[in-house]
Chains A and B, each alone.
Chain A
Amino acid sequence: MSTATGRPRARSRAPMALERGRRDIRRLLARLGAFWRSLDQPVVGRRVPGSAVVGLTGLMLSLVAALLAYRTGSNTWYADSLSHLTIARRIFDSQAPGFQQLGTVWLPLPHLLLIPFVANLWMWSSGVGASLLGAGCAAATATAVYRIAARLGFGRAGRLVAVLVLWTNVSYLYICTTALTEPVLIAAFACTIAGLVHWATAARPMSGGELAVFAGLPAMVAMLSRYEGWVLVVSMVVYIAAVEYRRMGGRTQHPWRFIALHRILPALAAPAFGVLCPFVGVGWWLAYNYAIYHDPLEFMTGPYSALRQQADDIARGIVTTKGNLGISLTVYDWSLWEILGGVVVVAGALGFLLLFFTEGLSIRVLTLGLAFSTYVFMVASLYLGQTVIWNDHSMPPSLWNVRFAVSPIVFFALGTAAFVDRLGGWLRRTPRSAGAPGRRLLAAGPAVVVALALLAQFGWWARDPGTRSPVVAEGHLSLVLRPTKVIDYLRRHYDGGHILMNESAPRNAIIPLVGLPNRDYWDVSTGAGYDAALKSPTTHATWIVVNTSLHTDYPDPVYLYMRQHRELFANYDIVAKDGSEVLYHLDRWTP
């Protein structure tokens, strides 16, 4: 009975299910079509269609990059990356935990942001925690760039090409897998510009509080991440004043008085909230430096500051960019070319020029100008000798700090979007004889060509990133210099006891790779404990890691102390050696 009644039912259900399936597919296609069309719509109000999809895609791509980097171990190649990991963890895991562990060599925020990601020992020592933070930054950057492009009125092609610039850049994706500070800076930088563009293009004037949150807070993050952020804030004030001026512009008989009283002053007053946040951040940083080191400018002038470290190089005459604008431009532009790729540099620059010559000082041009501020900062920094970059075109040629050329990626992404949008717009209008479909096809042409070129460029890099991407290559150079044997020995043979070392000395940035908690170390960051360990090593440390090279700018203080007080270290035996790096172990049978 059940079979007899069941079969006809099954037969009648099949076409219904099929029809339902078709209906679902049609509905899905219709929704996808509506979504696709929404990406081309001008942005009105707060929502920018496609933001979530872009953010999720950016996150997924960065996670894939993180996985690849983890499998090759390249996410921990950079010595600076290892130092950042160490600093972040020692805030809570150290013989002397606390916020003073932030130190002053680097700005503090990336380390603070890293804390939850390095709380787990494995995530810290493998660098995976940093990769996760980097993935978040990459997602935020992609979303912000997309929203900027959308709010600036670029069409779908421009918006998508802008994010494609990020997603096809091997150097940028790689850097997001590391604990370096650039991903945080770039994300904060892009978010600041996104907030400012929202403010500049909003139909209803945004309040000071909103400006503070949407632009001021990310600017504060940028400011407390890298010094490029400080220039960003100055540029931000100029941008706000310029936009206010344009917005209110020229309806008076006394323009100068009018500009001064009714444009510039209100323009500077209105965003006071917006620029307050970054200055609060700076105030905190100065207070911190004063509280810990009794000098608010310790980060600038202290022994570990970039200024002090570069002083020797300058004295030796190997910072050839200092005082020479031509070399500074050549060195930096070459890094840009290598890192961002020819397609992006050419299309981005052309896009900006196209906008400038067709629109003058429009909101778009001002925004791209704001994004250009990192480029100006880096070139000025090279020229003033504050920053050193060594690449194929520097003297001496080498690989050092080439990753500084990643920062202007936001400018070039937006410039490329402008290029595609403007060119597509012209092609859509000009040949009327081509008919509507033909014009649409022509309009899509620049986007398709640029997208294919970006993918080709990505493929070229991806085939041999260790050689073709200078950023990855520089990381690989750090790997070559790494005292791997010492690390491996310590990791495998550690049987308890503390380790005495100075992590700041050359080749000593290895702590995460050993995989032991920070509290097992007597490092210079532990202050009085470190001094006590030096004076009485046998009661404090079972292991000592030193760099025995004396031919460096900064010889290892522990090794220097050992040389001066040999009697204190007589009971230590060398158990591992990797070049100049030596690992000592306390003789167990010492009375």
Chain B
Amino acid sequence: MNENAVHRRIGDILLDAGLVTQEQIDAAVQRQRREGGLLGKHLILSGAVSRRDMYRALAEQWDVPLVDLLSQPSNANDYLLSVDPRRFADAGWVPWRIHDGTLTIATSVAPTQEVLDQALSLPGVEAVDVRATTDWDVLRTVQNAGRERLLYRITDQMADTTPEASARSGVIRWQRMVPVAFLLLILAAYVVDPPVAVVVTFCIVNVLFVVNIVFKVLAGLRAPYRLRQKRRWRKAVVAERARRGAPAAWPRRIPDDELPVYTILVPVYDEAEVVPKVIANLDQLDYPKSKLDVMILLEENDTRTIEAAKATRPPEYVRIVVVPEGHPQTKPRACNYGLEFARGDYVVIFDAEDRPHPDQLRRAIDAFEMNRLMRKYVDPDTPRLVCVQASLMYFNAEYNLLTRMFAIEYAHWFDAMLPGLDDSGLPLPLGGTSNHFETRTLRALGAWDPYNVTEDADLGLRIASQGFAVGTIETATEEEACSAVSAWIRQRTRWIKGYMITASVNTRHLGRWYRSNGIGGLITMACLVLGTPLAFLSYPFSLLFTVLTYVGVKTGGLHFPPGALQAGVIMMVAGNTAMILSSAVAAWLRYNWRVAMFAFLNPVYWLLHSVAAWRAAYQLVVDPFTWEKTPHGLTADYESTHELRGYPPMP
């Protein structure tokens, strides 16, 4: 390397080569001052210069040749295979050639002494030679060389190292035996004494249904209290800041150059048409592009989407990452692969059709920062916040009846129940999208279980079991509600099956699990994770009993315990009514009364859940890992006419 060349500025090299203009350099410098980071990155992001040209210039600056790893791939596979692939991906360089103890590395970062020392530390390396290459080449090389290792890590490592936390082994023996024994017991009761069996079934199904409903309603009822508390707290903070002469706005808006790099994972499968929309939606985020690391995760066998994605020529902050083929081919597996190459301090998942509100990433960072301050200055025992969940809402809520019902359900779930659980300190089952993590902690936790079809809910519980906290943030992501009944049932089947699997994974060793999760975890597990499938499995029966009672059909000589029949009917009617009112209020606040009024159809909507629940129970036995993907874009022609209500703007 020529020492004089090292000191030449990259802008000068590019100007001399006629690749950029002075105005472009000035604009990039301005952005660099505002957002921080490397000038070259800003030039690439602004489109002033191509990635290849930039690295050619960098090669000139570093005074080393530029190599194309696609046409001249690395033959130092021994090194690549012996070391954690992420180490090279993070470092930005890869071993390229080895000859007589001299290792030639291909680097996309400046060949500093630290880089050279890292290379020299590899076994058998006596000298290091340097070539320049692009970051894409480095990534591709790592992906190709570490394929088998990466495949193992994203698929089976968790199941091998912590089998009790993985769904790979499915439902264990005693868990299979209990429901079978229970069903046999009921059948036997029907044979021996049918009237008693009917009474017992009636009581059981009502209790199962009511437990889940009461939990959801009670959790939701905490939302207004929490809202009031937050407002009072904010008011108190503003007053105190005013007293101390500090600006009222708090937390302050973090300057762009202080923001961390944020990784956004967008798993896409068989959705060639949505890729441009993904980019357009993420482009709305109020976050400097130079700090964004967007990865569109595509499956290797989905060539149509891969071609479509490449054809869209995404902006430079977007990476198209192809996930190697493997089994099970699930979203968590794709996300795990993306996480391997995440550059951000924080990572978030969005679905392909998601429209996150622009402030979402900043709100997440504020929440993490607030938790850090709380632990540092207020209460060191406050659990560390490692994940925050944004609300989900539907932009096509008024497309048809199903989307309305779905929107009502989500409004209650994300705007009432989850904040209520958060406020009560109970573990939260995460939603499938818009959950933000600390990257480092997520990796340490083992990331997502690829064998679990509701990996999100599972991860939420795992985080809680490790003593960390999951919180909610007042911002939302607009999604497309599934508008076709058949697709909705498939999607819901997956969710309910996932809850069943999550429940089975977490309760394999009940005593141990209880010791690490405590009473809060037990409540969430019993009433929500396990309670939801059980409630929907039992719902048709409890509804049937209620309807039969209502039309005045005599109970066929059955002898219910005193008050049991009335209690059952009251529980059913009161439970339904409470849930209807609770979700109607949430939907009214989130959307409008026109959507909210459909909450009265909840009892019918829950019948669809029951169909999905029984389907899920069947799949749990015969095909537990099947991932029934939800089709997107069914309402592509539809734009909601209603105004979606967001949260108050950030200070």
Report which A residues bind B (CB closer than 8 A).
45-47, 98-100, 204, 206-207, 209-210, 212-213, 284, 287-288, 291-292
What's the Cα separation between A45 and B402 when bound, in Å? 18
Contact B638 A204 (CB under 8 A): yes
Residues of B within 8 A of A288 (CB): 551-552
- 358-407 of chain B: CB within 8 A of chain A: 398, 400-402
Contact A210 B552 (CB under 8 A): no
Contact B554 A291 (CB under 8 A): yes
Interface hub of A47, A99, A209, A288 (most chain B Cβ within 10 A): A209
What's the Cα separation between A210 and B404 when bound, in Å? 10
B598 within 8 A of A: yes
Contact B552 A291 (CB under 8 A): yes
Residue of B nearest to A212 (CB): B401
Residue of A nearest to B601 (CB): A213
Residues of A within 8 A of B594 (CB): 46
Residues of A within 8 A of B552 (CB): 98-100, 288, 291-292
Residue of A nearest to B598 (CB): A213
B178 within 8 A of A: no
A-B contact pairs, 22 of them (CB 8 A): A45-B641, A46-B398, A47-B641, A98-B552, A99-B551, A204-B637, A204-B638, A207-B400, A207-B402, A207-B483, A209-B402, A210-B400, A210-B401, A213-B401, A213-B598, A213-B601, A287-B551, A287-B553, A291-B551, A291-B552, A291-B553, A291-B554
What's the Cα separation between A291 and B398 when bound, in Å? 40
B550 within 8 A of A: yes
B405 to chain A, nearest CB (A): 8
A276 to chain B, nearest CB (A): 11
What's the Cα separation between A287 and B401 when bound, in Å? 28
What's the Cα separation between A100 and B552 when bound, in Å? 7
4 tightest A-B CB contacts, nearest first: A209-B401, A207-B400, A291-B553, A291-B552
B548 to chain A, nearest CB (A): 9
Q: A287-B551, A287-B553, A291-B554 are in contact. Are A209 and B641 (CB under 8 A)?
A: no
Interface hub of B552, B598, B637, B641 (most chain A Cβ within 10 A): B552
Residues of B within 8 A of A99 (CB): 550-552
What's the Cα separation between A288 and B552 when bound, in Å? 6
B447 to chain A, nearest CB (A): 39
What's the Cα separation between A212 and B637 when bound, in Å? 23
CB 8 Å contact bits of B578-615 with A (1 = contact, 0 = none) = 00000000000000001000100100000000000000
What's the Cα separation between A210 and B400 when bound, in Å? 6
What's the Cα separation between A412 and B562 when bound, in Å? 56
Residue of A nearest to B552 (CB): A291
Total A-B contacts with CB atoms under 8 angstroms apart: 36
Report, as a range, how many residues of chain B touch the other chain.
10 to 19
Residue of B nearest to A292 (CB): B552
Residue of B nearest to A290 (CB): B553
Residues of B within 8 A of A98 (CB): 552
Residue of B nearest to A45 (CB): B641
Interface on chain A toward B: helix, strand, loop, or mixed SS? helix
Residue of B nearest to A285 (CB): B551
Residues of A within 8 A of B553 (CB): 287, 291
Residue of A nearest to B550 (CB): A99
What's the Cα separation between A100 and B551 when bound, in Å? 8
Q: A99-B550, A204-B637 are in contact. List 4 more A-B contacts (CB 8 A).
A: A100-B552, A213-B401, A287-B553, A288-B551
Residue of A nearest to B485 (CB): A209
Residue of A nearest to B554 (CB): A291
Residue of A nearest to B635 (CB): A204
B599 to chain A, nearest CB (A): 12
What's the Cα separation between A47 and B553 when bound, in Å? 43
What's the Cα separation between A204 and B396 when bound, in Å? 13
A500 to chain B, nearest CB (A): 25
What's the Cα separation between A207 and B482 when bound, in Å? 13
What's the Cα separation between A524 and B319 when bound, in Å? 80
What's the Cα separation between A371 and B651 when bound, in Å? 56
B197 to chain A, nearest CB (A): 22
Contact B551 A284 (CB under 8 A): yes
What's the Cα separation between A99 and B546 when bound, in Å? 13
**B400: contacting residue among A206, A291, A292, CB under 8 A:** A206
What's the Cα separation between A284 and B550 when bound, in Å? 10
Residues of B within 8 A of A204 (CB): 637-638
What's the Cα separation between A288 and B553 when bound, in Å? 7
B641 to chain A, nearest CB (A): 6
Q: A45-B641, A46-B641, A204-B638 are in contact. Are A209 and B400 (CB under 8 A)?
A: yes
Residues of A within 8 A of B550 (CB): 99
Residue of B nearest to A47 (CB): B641
Contact B641 A207 (CB under 8 A): no
A93 to chain B, nearest CB (A): 18
Residues of B within 8 A of A45 (CB): 641
B485 to chain A, nearest CB (A): 8
Residues of B within 8 A of A206 (CB): 400
What's the Cα separation between A287 and B550 when bound, in Å? 11
Residue of A nearest to B402 (CB): A209
What's the Cα separation between A288 and B400 when bound, in Å? 33
Residue of B nearest to A293 (CB): B552
What's the Cα separation between A550 and B402 when bound, in Å? 60
A198 to chain B, nearest CB (A): 13
Residue of A nearest to B405 (CB): A209
A302 to chain B, nearest CB (A): 16
Residues of B within 8 A of A47 (CB): 641
What's the Cα separation between A47 and B638 when bound, in Å? 16
Residues of A within 8 A of B637 (CB): 204
Residue of A nearest to B398 (CB): A46
A163 to chain B, nearest CB (A): 22
What's the Cα separation between A207 and B484 when bound, in Å? 9
What's the Cα separation between A232 and B637 when bound, in Å? 34
What's the Cα separation between A99 and B601 when bound, in Å? 22
A288 to chain B, nearest CB (A): 5
What's the Cα separation between A209 and B485 when bound, in Å? 10
What's the Cα separation between A98 and B565 when bound, in Å? 14
Contact B401 A207 (CB under 8 A): yes
Residues of B within 8 A of A287 (CB): 551, 553
B307 to chain A, nearest CB (A): 32
What's the Cα separation between A99 and B637 when bound, in Å? 47
What's the Cα separation between A225 and B346 when bound, in Å? 61
Residues of A within 8 A of B402 (CB): 207, 209
CB 8 Å contact bits of B531-555 with A (1 = contact, 0 = none) = 0000000000000000000111110
What's the Cα separation between A46 and B598 when bound, in Å? 15
Residues of A within 8 A of B400 (CB): 206-207, 209-210
What's the Cα separation between A99 and B554 when bound, in Å? 12
What's the Cα separation between A284 and B546 when bound, in Å? 13
Residue of B nearest to A213 (CB): B401
Residues of B within 8 A of A100 (CB): 552
CB 8 Å contact bits of B465-483 with A (1 = contact, 0 = none) = 0000000000000000001
Residue of B nearest to A44 (CB): B641
What's the Cα separation between A46 and B399 when bound, in Å? 11
A112 to chain B, nearest CB (A): 11
What's the Cα separation between A462 and B401 when bound, in Å? 45
A195 to chain B, nearest CB (A): 12
Residues of A within 8 A of B641 (CB): 45-47
Residue of A nearest to B553 (CB): A291
What's the Cα separation between A213 and B602 when bound, in Å? 13
Residues of B within 8 A of A210 (CB): 400-401
What's the Cα separation between A46 and B594 when bound, in Å? 10
What's the Cα separation between A347 and B402 when bound, in Å? 42
Residue of A nearest to B483 (CB): A207
Residue of B nearest to A273 (CB): B401
